[in-house]
Amino acid sequence: MADKKAQLIIEGAAPVELPVLTGTVGPDVIDVRSLTSTGHFTFDPGFMSTASCESKITYIDGDKGILLHRGYPIEQLAEKSDYLETCYLLLNGELPTAEQKAQFVSTVKNHTMVHEQLKSFLNGFRRDAHPMAIMCGVVGALSAFYHDSLDINDPHHREISAVRLVAKMPTIAAMVYKYSIGQPLMYPRNDLSYSENFLHMMFNTPCEIKPISPVLAKAMDRIFILHADHEQNASTSTVRLAGSTGANPFACIAAGIAALWGPAHGGANEAVLTMLDEIGDVSNVEKFLAKAKDKNDPFKLMGFGHRVYKNFDPRAKVMKQSADEVLDLLGVENNPTLQVAKELEKAALADPYFAEKKLFPNVDFYSGIILEAMGFPTSMFTPIFALSRTVGWISQWKEMIGDPQLKIGRPRQLYNGETLRDYVDIENR
Ligand code: SDX
């Protein structure tokens, strides 16, 4: 909706009038699509001030530390909903009725198995390959198995691809883990909930099927909810850009997994544990805070800071509360890693450097502590993030592909390389 105008005065040129668009909440945007007619581009590396699309899925207010999924606060979803209900909400825009929820859960359960031949893809990887490397490859390979649902212009194909991805990611993540430790792959079970099933496939073996702790399953489900979607972050923007070319949804999600892997993004949860282990003891916290503040030291406090949140990441608050609950349940009180994390958070929040730069704990700061206490190796932390975020990626992909104004994403540049010059034969160089 454009009811305001912005005026751009470019020296030596006539003023340019640009529409200002207003959403339902959040900052207005200046529509610069007509700017090319002036012979100018906008310049915004890292997209710090750029809205790449319109969306109805997730809203973040970074200054107030607010995160809404289809209008519902993340705190309420984490407390009252469950992951598959949140998936339904993200995919369809509304919370399901009891009947809709039962139908959705049943549909997902009936798509949790992967094609038996997909398992042979694992054998191409070394056992010690990073799980994210395998996950990228295997998820991309899914497009080789679903020729019946790759017409992205068919809403039913988009729907079934979304369900298949949500349903199969836990199976694939568990397969990748079992392969890395040389244990037999576990089949999914339809008598278990989504989170129980994942813990079953991860930690049970054909020799012994232990019951899944309902408290750990609830903690797992909450971790899935907290990572489900997050507006136009780097990996979601990657999925949208790949999708804008018409690439199939499995290839787009594989691209999102690749982008998430970076330590500045989803790889941070693994990097937090590595950092906490390196700090080792609360007595070393001040030394590492000094390193994080030292411009000449590349060390950063992993799990701290955020492009959008300049206040507490609301997910971090829920995650911290969950960490206390899970560690108490597991009888892991006085967990040294948790003690270091709490001391590090307390010292950083009291430090002017972090206060001035508005650096607060983000979603990755506490998640790894819970996952480690639950028995996951650090190499599985980002695959679990990818598993959880798949519903966000595919919801954003569906929204984009369903937009009649869809255009291929193709940014321009500020060129400051060589201008036109003639080729020089080698003997004259
Ligand atoms: C996720 O976008 C999303 O929504 C992502 C995510 C999602 O759900 O999809 O929320 C998930 O990726 C969370 C972020 C996980 N990454 C980390 O925890 C890695 C550590 N954090 C930093 O790398 C950093 O804070 C970023 C990448 C998260 C944000 O970087 P920005 O917005 O580009 O900010 P910046 O790097 O320009 O930092 C601003 C200033 C700089 O100092 P100056 O140059 O201004 O003097 O703050 C400093 C930085 O040096 N700074 C830090 C710091 N983060 C930023 N200093 C020490 N420790 C840190 N963690």
Contacts of 15 (CB under 8 A, 6+ apart): 7, 8, 9
Tell me, in angstroms, the distance from the centre of ligand 1 to residue 310's CA: 10
Provide the angle, in degrees to the nearest 10, between the axes of the packed helices 194-203 and 155-181: 30
> What whole-number distance in Å separates Cα of residue 402 and Cα of residue 56?
13
Reply yes or no on whether the pLDDT at 392 is more than 90: yes
The active-site residue out of 82, 221, 313, 364 is 364
Quote the tokens at residue 257.
């997994």
Nearest partner of 392 among 141, 80, 22, 74, judged by Cα: 74
CA of 62 to the centre of ligand 1 (A): 13
The whole-angstrom separation of Cα 265 and Cα 302 is 10
Q: What does the alpha-carbon distance between residue 105 and residue 88 come to, in Å, rounded to a whole number?
A: 9
Contact 224, 392 (CB under 8 A): no
- DSSP assignment of 133-176 equals HHHHHHHHHGGGT-GGG--TTSHHHHHHHHHHHHHHHHHHHHHH
Please state, rounded to an integer, the average pLDDT across all residues of the chain: 94
Distance 307 CA to ligand 1 centre (A): 6
The pLDDT confidence band at residue 75, using thresholds 50, 70 and 90, is very high
Strand, helix or coil for residue 75? helix
At residue 1, the pLDDT reads: 56
359 ligand 1 Cβ < 6 A: yes
Of 40, 265, 328, 425, which is the active-site residue? 265
C-alpha 2/C-alpha 192 separation (Å) is: 49
Whether residue 74 has its Cβ less than 6 Å from ligand 1: no
Any atom of ligand 1 within 6 Å of the Cβ of 5: no
Cα–Cα distances in angstroms (integers) from residue 250 to residues 138, 149, 180, 355, in the given order: 10, 10, 23, 41
- Of the residues 151, 306, 313, 328, only one is catalytic, namely 306
Contacts of 252 (CB under 8 A, 6+ apart): 239, 242, 243, 393, 397
Give the model confidence (pLDDT) of 157-176 as tens digits.
Answer: 999 999 999 999 999 999 99
Band (pLDDT 50/70/90 cuts) for residue 333 is low
265 is a catalytic site residue: yes
Tens digit of each residue's pLDDT (9 = 90 or more) over 337-363: 889 999 999 999 999 999 999 999 999
CA atoms within 13 A on the CB side of 105: 19
The whole-number pLDDT of residue 30 equals: 97
Tokens describing residue 335: 């967990």
pLDDT tens, residue by residue, 241-281: 999 999 999 999 999 999 999 999 999 999 999 999 999 99
Q: In terms of Cα–Cα distance, which of 174, 118, 159 is closest to 386?
A: 174
